[in-house]
Amino acid sequence: MKRILITGAAGFLGSHLCDRFIKEGYFVIGMDNLITGDLKNIEHLFKLQNFEFYHHDITKFVHVPGKLDYILHFASPASPIDYLKIPIQTLKVGSLGTHNLLGLARVKKARILIASTSEVYGDPLVHPQTEEYYGNVNTIGPRGVYDEAKRFQESITMAYHTFHGVETRIVRIFNTYGPRMRLNDGRVIPAFIGQALRGEDLTIFGDGSQTRSFCYVDDQVEGIFRLLHSNYHLPVNIGNPDEITIKDFAEEIIKLTGTDQKVVYHPLPINDPMQRQPDITKAREILGWEAKVSREDGMKLTYAYFKSLSPEELAKEEH
């Protein structure tokens, strides 16, 4: 049985990856310190013979007994309000944490895939973003703690590949959504749906002309699964190129939820990227991958998940 370590296992993407690799017949070792994750995302796995969980902060030395074939390194705060609240931990998990995981991959002779992000492109001057674009990041801006941690993560991963011959994979993930996102994590989809469900106005930051391209979680997981098993060690964008302005997206959510909410405008956060759309030529050519789930279908599934939460969970929104 192949053994895979998944860091950030109790988070949104990590928990879906645990499910996928369990389904594929792997022995899955989840690791998380629960700083932004929640055990309820993986509690259904605890009864399984081929799942183990370690409560551990990966910025501290990481030890896993036995053989390891693969590592998926997904531990990191991912939402702007999270990484603005815990900036030092964000820098540490991307740097020290990644160093620990690469060291583990080296001694175990495991293949490691690290979760990078479209944020390495910053507020991009090239549109759509290809993997060749170097990006436009403000190192000392508030988002720099995340963006630079991820850029360092890519550099150290390439160095381990080049100098230690570790088998590495780098996925640049574009905005991904779906069930198990935290309602209060501040990202636009849980924020808007939570507001609609509570009967509050939807908060648009800036004038809403900034764009994002949203990828449903099942598509993202499929892309990651294919990249892990490919022979390609350079970064690959995985995302859905279907781009929309935040203002139009708010209108879509109002329609979807059948609520009568208004939109209100708040200041745009500093260095909030004005446009984002993945160029997925590489994913198509190398992995034979592209997103299959439309925004309409994905949003229906996501809305159904949030609607099923208890009133107490719904009320937990942070402002």
What pairs with residue 263 in β-bridges? 202
42 part of the interface to ligand NAD, by CB under 6 A: no
| Cβ atoms of 295 and 248 closer than 8 Å | no
Is residue 146 part of the annotated active site? The answer reads: yes
Q: Which is nearer to ligand UDP, 61 or 265 (CB)?
A: 265
Do 89 and 59 contact (CB within 8 A), yes or no? Answer: yes
Binding status of residue 250 toward ligand NAD by CB under 6 A:
no
CB atoms under 10 Å from CB of 160, counted, come to: 22
**Is residue 306 near ligand NAD by the rule CB under 6 A?**
no
Say if residues 137 and 144 touch (Cβ distance below 8 Å).
Answer: yes
* Residue 97 is a binding residue for ligand NAD (CB under 6 A): yes
Q: How far is the CB of 212 from ligand NAD (least distance, A)?
A: 10
Pairing between strand 243-245 and 211-213?
A: antiparallel
Site for ligand NAD in 158-187 (CB under 6 A): 173, 175-176
Q: Write the single-letter amino acid at 158.
A: M
Calculate helix-pair angle for 217-228, 12-23, nearest 10 degrees.
Answer: 60
Compare residues 37 and 128 and give the one whose CB is closer to ligand NAD. 37
Which helix or strand (DSSP H or E) is residue 145 part of?
helix 144-164
Count of chain residues binding ligand NAD (CB under 6 A): 28
The one of ligand UDP, ligand NAD, none whose footprint includes residue 94, by CB under 5 to 8 A per kind, is none
Q: Which of 24, 34, 61, 307 is in the footprint of ligand NAD by CB under 6 A?
A: 34
- Residue 129 binds which one of ligand UDP, ligand NAD, none, with CB within 5 to 8 A depending on kind? none
CB neighbourhood size of 235 (10 A): 19
Peptide bond into 65 cis (omega under 30): no
Catalytic-role residue among 70, 146, 177, 216: 146
Which positions are annotated as active-site residues? 146
Task: By CB under 6 A, name the binding residues for ligand NAD.
Answer: 7-8, 10-14, 32-37, 57-59, 74-78, 93, 97, 115, 117, 173, 175-176
